[in-house]
């Protein structure tokens, strides 16, 4: 029997297809195994996934080229995927916080958002201007895009699932910050876009402040509170009025994804901040029937979806780094990224916590663990899609890509060394 000869192009296509299939399978398997295998180890799952992506796209194989900096379709895909991941992460964070929301109870988180973040934006913007020669708009975009503690990759330094207690004060502060910081980062993303398009004037800044800062934040809070209250009450009323057999068939995770997307959609429809609305809705719903086991089941379900998407995206991010994400990286870009991770964020964090009666070591840890990640990629993809010819955007991407990979490794190693030990030594609440 004679088999037909397969053209070389078909073989290449088939091998590419198989590589992608095997990569997806290995990634899914590692998502399942790594949290257990790497517990209390130096390596973290994000390190592994980024490493896989980097090695895979470094192979002499014609893999799809990912270029969110200049390719419109790639950038849209990156924006929408990271947007969805951040949305799920913010919902999960809101469900995890057992401590009732108030200015007093969440004081450490408010300080990090209200004091540390503006200082970070200013200092990082100045570093971008004086080290890289960025314009005013580009400096603000750099500062705003890289100032938030990532709600996605910072999950290892956050409190435990619902009804696990208030958690260590260091983790609690970082959890609240990760949930709230989009409320202040996004307005400055818009400020950068407005300045790039219209230039600096009192009228421009006044319009930005009244709409992008005041109005959009208030709408985000209002929509999140109202929708969160309504959806949570409906959810608990529904599950309490069905028989036990049907309760076992309910997918709480699916419901939460639906509720999260609806909340986000309503907030964006009324031109509010959807990220803020999602977090507010989750924390509002968390206060209803707080001890109900459905809270924990819901969190665990959505966490599985989130972790799967994170693993896939980090492999793709490793591919971006291997192909074009670090092309053109200079000592200036490296210096700005190192300044943020090792000086600017720790300094701004410490300044924001000066008035808190807590051990110096705890305040230092809160200040140091300003993890950068997927949220930053979303902000830059969003800004570039809104204004494609934004000045100095290549420099901003290079700083962001380098800083994220630096943060993944530095904070991942620090997590293994520092947070595990301090949780055993202190229970003081900042």
Band of residue 252 on the pLDDT scale cut at 50, 70, 90: confident
State yes or no: pLDDT of 428 exceeds 50. Answer: no
pLDDT at position 249 over 80: no
Q: Residue ranges per domain, the chain? A: 75-423
Cβ contact 68:78 at 8 Å: yes
Rounded distance between C-alpha atoms, residue 92 and residue 151, angstroms: 9
More confident residue, 237 or 46: 46
- Answer whether residue 261 shows pLDDT above 60: yes
Average pLDDT for residues 370-374, to the nearest whole number? 88
DSSP 328-344: T--HHHHHHHHHIIIII
What is the predicted pLDDT for the residue at 164?
A: 79
Structure-token pair, residue 140 = 């603000």
Would the pLDDT of 147 be above 90? yes
Q: Is 429 left (phi over 0), alpha (psi -120 to 50) or beta?
A: beta
Number of other residues whose CB lies within 10 A of the CB of residue 156: 18
What length does the chain have?
Answer: 430
Q: Which two tokens stand for residue 277?
A: 């609305």
Across 221-246, average pLDDT: 81
Q: Are 121 and 144 in contact (CB under 8 A)?
A: yes
Half-sphere exposure of 196 (CA within 13 A, CB side): 24
Under 8 Å between Cβ of 379 and 181: no
At 291 the pLDDT is 79
User: Is 245's pLDDT higher than 60?
Assistant: no
What are the tens digits of pLDDT across the range 299-339?
A: 888 888 888 888 888 988 998 888 888 889 999 999 999 99
Is the pLDDT at 153 greater than 60? The verdict is yes
Q: Is the pLDDT of residue 429 over 50?
A: no
Spell out the residues 6+ positions from residue 332 whose beta carbon is closer than 8 angstroms to its own. 131, 132
Q: Could you tell me which residue, 73 or 106, shows the higher pLDDT?
A: 106
Architecture of domain 75-423: Up-down Bundle (1.20)
Position 64 pLDDT exceeds 70: no
pLDDT of 419 > 70? The answer is no
Tell me the percentage of the chain whose pLDDT exceeds 90.
43
Q: Residue 308 is encoded by which pair of tokens? A: 């799967």
């Amino acid at each position: 029997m004679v088999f037909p000869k397969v053209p070389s192009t078909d073989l290449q296509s088939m091998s590419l297809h198989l590589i992608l299939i095997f990569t997806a399978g290995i990634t899914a398997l590692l998502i399942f195994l790594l949290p257990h295998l790497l517990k209390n180890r130096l390596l973290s799952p994000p390190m592994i996934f980024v490493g896989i992506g980097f090695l895979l796209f470094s192979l002499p194989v014609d893999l799809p080229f990912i270029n969110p900096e200049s390719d419109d379709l790639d950038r849209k895909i990156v924006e929408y995927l990271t947007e969805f991941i951040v949305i799920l992460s913010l919902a999960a964070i809101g469900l995890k916080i057992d401590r009732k929301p108030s200015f007093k109870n969440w004081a450490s988180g408010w300080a990090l958002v209200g004091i540390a973040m503006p200082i970070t934006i200013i200092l990082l913007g100045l570093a971008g201007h004086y080290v890289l020669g960025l314009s005013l708009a580009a400096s603000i975009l750099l500062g705003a895009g890289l100032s938030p503690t990532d709600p996605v990759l910072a999950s290892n330094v956050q409190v435990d699932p619902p009804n696990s207690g208030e958690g260590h004060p260091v983790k609690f502060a970082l959890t609240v910050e990760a949930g709230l910081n989009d409320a202040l980062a996004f307005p400055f993303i818009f400020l950068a876009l407005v300045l790039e398009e219209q230039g600096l004037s009192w009228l421009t800044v006044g319009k930005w402040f009244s709409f992008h800062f005041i109005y959009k934040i208030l709408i985000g809070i209002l929509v999140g509170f109202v929708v969160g209250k309504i959806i949570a009450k409906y959810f608990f009323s529904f599950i309490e009025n069905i028989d036990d057999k049907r309760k076992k068939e309910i997918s709480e995770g699916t419901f939460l994804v639906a509720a999260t997307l609806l909340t986000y959609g309503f907030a964006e429809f009324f031109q509010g901040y959807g990220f803020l609305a999602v977090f507010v809705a989750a924390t509002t719903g968390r206060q209803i029937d707080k001890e109900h086991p459905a809270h924990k089941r819901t969190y665990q379900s959505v966490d599985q979806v989130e972790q799967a998407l994170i693993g896939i995206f980090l492999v793709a991010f490793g591919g971006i780094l291997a192909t074009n994400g670090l092309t053109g990286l200079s000592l200036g870009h490296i210096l700005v990224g190192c300044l943020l991770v090792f000086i600017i964020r720790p300094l701004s964090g410490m300044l924001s916590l000066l008035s808190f009666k807590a051990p110096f070591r705890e305040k230092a840890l809160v200040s140091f663990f300003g993890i950068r990640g997927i949220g930053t990629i979303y902000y830059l993809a969003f800004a570039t899609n809104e204004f494609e010819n934004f000045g100095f955007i290549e420099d901003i991407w290079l700083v962001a890509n380098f800083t994220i990979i630096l943060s993944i490794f530095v904070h991942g190693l620090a997590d293994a060394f520092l947070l595990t030990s301090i949780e055993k030594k202190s229970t003081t609440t900042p």
